Amino acid sequence: MNGKIFIIEDEPSIIQLVQHNLEKNGFLVSSSLNGNDGLKELKKFQPDLLLLDWMLPDLSGIEICKNIRKDKSFKNLPVIMLTAKGEEEDKIKGLDSGVDDYLTKPFSFNELMARIKAVLRRSNPNTVSDNLKFDDLMLDRIEKRVFRDGQEIKLGPTEFRLLEFFLTNPKRVYSRDQILESVWPNNVNVESRTIDVHIRRLRQSVNLKNKKELIRTVRSSGYSLI
């Protein structure tokens, strides 16, 4: 798995526990302790799923949810609401306002994981499947192998991660910053030139003879998988 999950939750202990376990499961995670910062960060991070606390110091989870649904790029962002006990009535309202699922605290991580997988399987199956496919390209996450039209393609570790990243959201254009944040999560000192070098290598590797180009350069925006 390599989906991106954003958490807005004001209890640091919950963030810590959830973030640590999600990262162990291969997710890229970022978080915020309040609603206003969360809304700003969310836009930069472009997650595949949002874990949203119901009760926050500034905005309520419902207000945040309504806010993001107005934004075209987040209209379909899956949201799992985290509620405390005794908010039954609120839960129903929560589902009305565009929440995909909810979980009552305290919850076990396994329970959370099952909900996340179920929601992602509906919204973006590529974040949870072992084999990523696009056109005649296939990436096997378990064996770490890549094939095009049945022919194996050898990739370096960075090119592999790049391709895996593009395959989770084909046809979406990513800026160099977004690519950097997702493919080099712990190295903020990578220059955009370095990204271009790895894209070029990936391109050369996947562009087999007589096959169409799969990676598109979008001028002044970035790159996308066709």
Stretch that binds Ca ion, among 54-62, 68-76, 180-188, 217-225 (CB under 5 A): 54-62
Return the number of the residue (87 or 136) whose C-beta is nearest Ca ion.
87
CB of 11 vs Ca ion, minimal distance in Å: 6
Q: Which residue has the tokens 């606390």?
A: 53
Minimum CB separation of residue 106 from Ca ion in Å reads: 13
Instruction: Please state the closest distance from residue 110 (CB atom) to Ca ion, in A.
Output: 22
Q: Is 34 exposed, middle or buried (0-12, 13-18, 19+ CB in 10 A)?
A: middle
The nearer residue to Ca ion, 55 or 215, going by C-beta atoms, is 55
User: Cβ distance 168 to 127 under 8 Å?
Assistant: yes
Q: Which is nearer to Ca ion, 91 or 201 (CB)?
A: 91
Q: Using the rule CB under 5 A, is 53 a contact of Ca ion? A: yes
- Map the footprint of Ca ion across residues 96-155, applying CB under 5 A: none
Which phi and psi (to 5°) does residue 102 adopt? -140, 160
Q: Which of 55, 118, 173, 215 binds Ca ion (CB under 5 A)?
A: 55
CB of 117 to Ca ion, least distance (A): 24
Q: DSSP 3-state assignment of 195?
A: helix
The 3 state secondary structure assigned to 125-191 is HHHCCCEEEECCEEEECCCCEEEECCEEECCCHHHHHHHHHHHHCCCCCECHHHHHHHHCCCCCCCC
* Site stretch for Ca ion (CB under 5 A), options 55-63, 90-98, 116-124, 167-175: 55-63
Q: Which residues of 140-156 are buried (b: 16+ CB within 10 A; e: fewer)?
A: ebeeeebebeeeebebe
- Residue type, position 181, single letter: E
Closest distance to Ca ion from the beta carbon of 41 (Å) = 17
The CA-atom distances, in angstroms, between 155 and each of 192, 197, 202 are 20, 14, 7
Closest approach of Ca ion to the CB of residue 198, in Å: 40
For tokens 């990436």, name the residue.
Answer: 139
* Residue 52 or 138 with smaller CB distance to Ca ion: 52
Piece in contact with Ca ion (CB under 5 A), picked from 3-11, 118-126, 194-202, 204-212: 3-11
Q: Is 90 an interacting residue with respect to Ca ion (CB under 5 A)?
A: no
The binding site for Ca ion (CB under 5 A) comprises: 10, 53, 55
